[in-house]
Amino acid sequence: MPMPFGSTRSLVLAGVLLAAAALPARAEPEKVAVLDFQFARGAPLPPTEEDRARLRRTADTFRDLLKESGRYSLVPTEPVRMEVAETADLRACGGCAERFGRKLGADGVFVGEIQKVSNLILNMNVYFKPLTEGAPEKAYSVDLRGDTDESFDRGIRYLVKNQLLVR
């Protein structure tokens, strides 16, 4: 005996609701601070103004890619921007990057660094430190060939797409 149309609709609706309830809840995006990128200390060549501009664009692209991913919510870093700029090396400052992140109310902090070996050979490193007690730092790295806007843009996009967002 066939079911009346209303009963079939009710069963389908119940099935959809049960399936939706079984799905895991989407987690809120992680609140992160992305500090301005820096050049690694000890580089054989000092950065030029063109290098500094490229570094700023790369950090901005990185921020945009994180926002677009939906996994991260970026906290404004303006309140610590001057302190960050005055810090010679965010990787060797006794935890200052983590202090900056906490001051901003972030759950984690990203630090980016470029190692410039020559105008042909560069390395882009991004480090993520969750601000929970005992959480290990994560490191992401990509080699660049050529000190150009295009190589920096390709490098940061590759790093985010093929390393950072892969879980």
Residue type, 74: L
pLDDT per residue over 48-85, tens digit each?
Answer: 899 999 999 999 999 999 999 999 999 999 999 999 99
- Locus of tokens 């790295």: 141
pLDDT, average across residues 114-122? 90
pLDDT at 98: 96
- How far is 140 from 80, CA to CA, in rounded Å? 24
Q: What is the pLDDT of residue 19?
A: 47
Query: What's the pTM value of the predicted model, to 2 decimals?
Result: 0.81
CATH fold of the domain at 28-164: Rossmann fold (3.40.50)
pLDDT-derived band at 164, boundaries 50, 70, 90? very high
- Mean pLDDT check: name the lowest of 19-23, 111-115, 150-154: 19-23
Reply yes or no on whether the pLDDT at 157 is more than 50: yes
